[in-house]
Structure 1
């Protein structure tokens, strides 16, 4: 027998974990056929693509995020810029969890690096509304389930996940609570005041955007959960010159910057890790 294709591997892995899914149209349970069709009893069906992901969007969505942005983000994350954050999040998760959902996962690098530090049996699922991000995730990371989807029309079954990750991404707290198992954890990572400050000072010099506060985001998180822990993680990382254009392209700051005007020798990573339990 020849080597199985990426699509065949994805079909098999999704079949093993079909209990996680419900139809984003009617909320019925879903099954996975050997031919890669994902369907419910009302005959709503979706197809696992040849790249190994499934698109659960029920209507067209335009995204401002491009393939180049996600490729750049992977290069930056691979450089180790967020290693300390990944270690801390993995420590918070521990080795007893079985299912993790990364919401707004992009090209999947955060989820993949965190799962590398956990037990081999953990099932990692990534969802993003940007198709280009999910295609990139499926290209690089096997033994994960990658979904194009909108949390407003979620393709996941109620109380399916032990942990939900929400890393530098918008939140949908109502859906997070629906999807978490009893006793499950939401781990939200948000920028702190000095996050990427060397870059912000050059892009937004002498403007209000040079400064940043996450106060409103943190207050809202505390309003959503009774049992909340919060820790700040801050460190500096040296930046190679060739990484600067990639770094700029992967952030919204890049929409305002000319790369040839930016000079960096180091970068500050300053994040709050918020943990809420249900």
Structure 2
């Protein structure tokens, strides 16, 4: 893959590439079950995502200049939430923040899974506290935690700060606790495996970037069950959506359109898949210097 000298030929900063990635992700069309350039949902519209991406810029800039991951994430979520749609890109920002932090480090020559994993490994207990504070700004779907984790229920937001400090959990360790049931947390603990795999697919295509985003979304949805769908509708539904995505990819545009319609009608939105695609677009822009 190209070294840092290649992607620095672009004039965009890592924070700007992250904002562009968020914009390109929502512009990808069709994106079955989710908001895209041609589809709004009843309470969530295309412009909410555009405003969320712009609002997150202050926190993303903080990550790019080396601020702690937790505080940069909390700031980006606070800015993202300053639009009427509510939570548009919480999971995407949770992936993007350590990636932007890594890309902004002058001592790192190339944005790699190993470099991103090192950023995650360096997170602290206070990063975890700031992660909880981010939940004060938005409503995020979360299931009931295991009994021994109830004091760390993310729905408590900043009220859980003392419990986080008492347990001495870093943000990486906190993500590890959720990695089996949450795809974004799994990326944190698996060295952003899916993120970089999707980025490779995006970089290898010669289609317009929104088309690459749409292709990547359906490819990833067909690859493994979406954990947001599993939380909201159950594991069997998530597996069914994965199989139907595989069939839609094989069946062509008409079947993809029908698949998208059916997900919307059922209220199924594969949000984790969208989060990973946004992070992958950032990697492709930053690492591979994709031209726009």
Give the TM-score normalised by the residue count of structure 1.
0.26
Decide which structure has greater helix share: 2
Give the TM-score normalised by the residue count of structure 2.
0.25
